[in-house]
Amino acid sequence: MRENGGARRRRAWAAAVAGLLALLVPLTGPSAGAEPMPTVEEVHARVQRLYREAEAATDAYNDAEAKAGKQREKAERLDRAAGAASRRLAGLKDEAGALARAQYRGGGVPVEAQLLLSDDPEEFVGDLRLARKGQHAQRRLITEVTGTQRRLARYARAAAGTYERLERTRAARAEAKKEITERLAAAKELERKLRAEERARLRRLERERAREAQARWLDSGILDGTGAAATPAGEKAVAYAADQLGKDYVWGAEGPDTFDCSGLTMRAWEAAGVRIPRTSQAQLAGLPRVGVRGMRPGDLIIYHSDASHVGIYVGDGTIVHAPRPGRQVTVAGAGSMPIKAVVRPDA
């Protein structure tokens, strides 16, 4: 049976209304206009990632700043050396000017004529030899100092250029650190908004993840047959680190009351009489590596693919480290984080 025009229009109108309602439903649902609240697990993952990124940025910033300080000292040394050479050259030029003026006062009489007119030719010849030796030495010194000054000027320009580049790098690192800090602040705010029971669960989740990672690491047999004793210096470094347990983590801190991760390891080995680089990345690059199976108390374990964290091995599969902001220097499983390398300050 054929539909009349009115029926067809009513059916078309009903379909259009249904389509419009379908479009409106997502806008009126629970997610309209706002992101869903992340789970505790998602908060944990985000905070951990942001802290590692911030730690890596701080490490790189500190490393750039240390390099800039060394370059500044080098540039200052070159400036002082160039100044001394310039003053020496000015003195030599004054001496040459004095000789020229003496010759002018003598009327510019040629040496041969002075010889013929001299009352004592032998004395004159002796004086002439001395004068010529002095002139030759003066010319040699002027040439030498001028060349030295030119070289020093080149070194100074090179040092200044390098320093400027390092300053730009440090500024870029500082900006990166600022951005990371802002993101961390957002993550902390997100963590703060969790209910008290959720924050407690977050702490438990951190501990559980660390325990699980440590258990897997130990179950792999990685420490079977190990147990090398610490050196006397290693014992001192471990003792220092242990004495800092409970102190707060603070970005860039080197003690004595607060530490970041590499500030703690640096000071621990400084207490043992060994100077090591400041940052975890520089410690990785500048210290000899050893295998995990061959490590001994006092060795440093570098963590994560970007070498953004470090702890000091204290034996029995454990480390002392400064974890992150909001936490304190503590003992943790050496395998509770991804190990990148082990380095030995007193190799």
Contact by Cβ (8 Å): 61, 277: no
Q: Rounded CA gap, 38 and 342, in Å?
A: 36
- Supply the Cα-derived Rg of the chain in whole angstroms: 37
Reading phi first (left if > 0) and then psi (alpha if -120 to 50, else beta), residue 207 is in: alpha
Contact 190, 198 (CB under 8 A): no
Angstrom distance (rounded) from CA 320 to CA 311: 6
Measure the CA–CA gap between 340 and 52, rounded to whole angstroms.
Answer: 14
As given in the structure block, the two tokens for residue 335 are 């395998």
Name the token pair of 27. 């806008």
Please give the C-alpha separations between residue 325 and each of 55, 180, 284, in angstroms, as whole numbers: 10, 13, 23
Q: Are 344 and 269 in contact (CB under 8 A)?
A: no
Say how many C-beta atoms besides its own lie within 10 A of residue 168's C-beta: 12
CA angle 335, 286, 232 (to 5 degrees): 70
Q: How far is CA 211 from CA 150, 284, 296, 339, in A?
A: 63, 25, 22, 15
- Give catalytic residue positions: 261, 309, 321
